[in-house]
């Protein structure tokens, strides 16, 4: 019950933030795209509560644009599925993650014992 209260509080706080940036989101599920773009009410969608239609609202307000992503080129899979090293590296590259050690290097100290 406490988790629900925190979720409601965050929901209200986020409603107060004005979105000035148009976001784009790739989706690999045709049904999710159709549901986000147009209301569809049937036996399979009746469980979706109205307050969770935030994505549809943002699309109507032109704050969010969704587009179809091929299922084999969806970088979100790196967070949800076990992947072969080759695919993981490709997805990391797609979202701008690098493994270059130079980007993480720490400069050497001028002299030992210095703070």
Which residues are CB-contacts of 66 (< 8 A; sequence separation ≥ 6)? 24, 25, 26, 27, 33, 36, 37, 55, 59
pLDDT at 63: 84
75 lies in some domain:
yes
Mean per-residue pLDDT for 56-78? 87
107 lies in some domain:
no
Evaluate if residue 68 carries a pLDDT over 90. yes
pLDDT at 50: 66
pLDDT digits (tens, 9 = 90+) for 84-113: 999 888 888 888 887 666 555 566 666 655
7 lies in some domain:
no
pLDDT digits (tens, 9 = 90+) for 9-23: 877 777 776 656 788
Per DSSP, which regions of the chain are E strands? 23-27, 64-68
65 and 89 both lie in a single domain: no
29 and 63 both lie in a single domain: yes
84 lies in some domain:
yes
Q: What is the domain range of residue 37? A: 20-69
pLDDT at 55: 82
Evaluate if residue 1 carries a pLDDT over 70. no
Evaluate if residue 67 carries a pLDDT over 60. yes
| DSSP reduced 3-state for 5 | helix
pLDDT digits (tens, 9 = 90+) for 24-53: 888 888 888 888 887 776 667 766 766 567
């Amino acid at each position: 019950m406490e988790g629900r209260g925190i979720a409601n509080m965050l929901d209200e706080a986020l409603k107060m933030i004005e979105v000035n940036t148009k976001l784009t989101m790739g989706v690999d599920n045709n049904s999710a795209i159709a549901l986000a773009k147009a209301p569809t009410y049937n036996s399979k969608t009746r469980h979706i509560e109205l307050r969770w239609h935030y994505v549809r609202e943002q699309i109507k307000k032109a704050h969010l644009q969704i587009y179809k992503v091929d299922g084999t080129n969806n970088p979100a899979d790196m967070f949800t599925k076990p992947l072969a090293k080759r695919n993981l590296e490709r997805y990391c590259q797609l979202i701008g993650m690098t493994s270059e050690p130079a980007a993480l290097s720490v400069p050497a100290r001028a002299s030992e014992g210095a703070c």
